[in-house]
Amino acid sequence: MALAIMCSGGDAPGMNPAIKKFVDYSYKKGEEAYLVYDGLEGLIDNKIKKATHQDVAGIVHIGGTIIRSSRSKRFFEHEYRLKAFNNLKSHGIKGMVVLGGDGSFRAMEKFSSEFDINFVGIPSTIDNDIYGTDYCLGVDTALNVIRDALDKIRDTASSFNRAFIVEVMGRDCGYLAVVSAMISGAEICIIPEVEFNTQEVEKKLLKEIEEGRNYILAIISEGSKNTSQVHAWIQDKLGLETRVSILGHIQRGGNPTVYDRLMAFDFTIKAVDYLLSHNDSNKVVVFKNGEFGFMEIEEVVSNKYQLPQHYLDAINFLD
């Protein structure tokens, strides 16, 4: 069976280690390996190339993805999905490993329901918002990028009587924000999942400022969509000069950490083994309670990820 690997949606650190392991392991199992460049768009445009070991040599330490990624409106039209399938068929490809998130898996679920193609998804998003798995590829690297930025911001915040608001990614999931707040010693954390009690926090911080506190670090998830309001509140009510740092896409970049490289290897081996041993393998590899498993794609895309309760509770124990 010829197998292919593709990245779809936002890039995540750890994709390159997964791509290398896919190629090396596929050939070790006696199968041909193909790379799909430019994601779903590349699938439509037949940017599919048979891989060699040389193609993936020396990429484990590189962030992003050497085969690039994309989002595709065309893929939602049947004529282009048919074109994509014919492209795969022309190369003899019967199975695919897809590195991506909910949107990617929804697209592949539709694709595989119409055509004779099997796929296994590897959850790959720094947002860590995919249902059924405790961990998505790229999260550890993103958290370390954020941690480094927060440590540096706290250095300068403590040198002045200032508050710093740091907005992190995560879409509608507060995972990055709450974990970053816990490990950085932030005084404030605002996420979409929990209503922020302004009055209670204001009372507590005003008392601390009276007792000598001279700076505040606040972490806000982008999905909360109230960074500007929090900025005004801190300046007007707490009386501290306030700066805003939006970390943006640096959170997606950087060398994959040791943990993300290990997880990439394990995710990929599980995915390839499943493709080779099943004829109806429209699944997602998940990592739950310290163990790898598989979940039906329909279950993954029809449910919403929920932050574990202990993370939600942790917001009340900051500072």
- Catalytic amino acids? 127
d(CA 97, CA 19): 9
Nearest Cα to Cα of residue 116 among 88, 97, 142: 88
C-beta separation of 192 from 220 below 8 A: no
Longest Cα–Cα distance of the chain, Å, equals 72
d(CA 20, CA 305): 29
Q: Is 109 helix (H, G, I), strand (E, B) or coil?
A: helix
Nearest Cα to Cα of residue 64 among 149, 180, 142: 142
The backbone torsions φ and ψ at residue 45, rounded to the nearest 5 degrees and listed phi first, read -90, 10
C-beta separation of 217 from 187 below 8 A: yes
Paired with 137 in beta bridges are: 124
d(CA 234, CA 198): 10
Nearest Cα to Cα of residue 138 among 271, 37, 253: 253
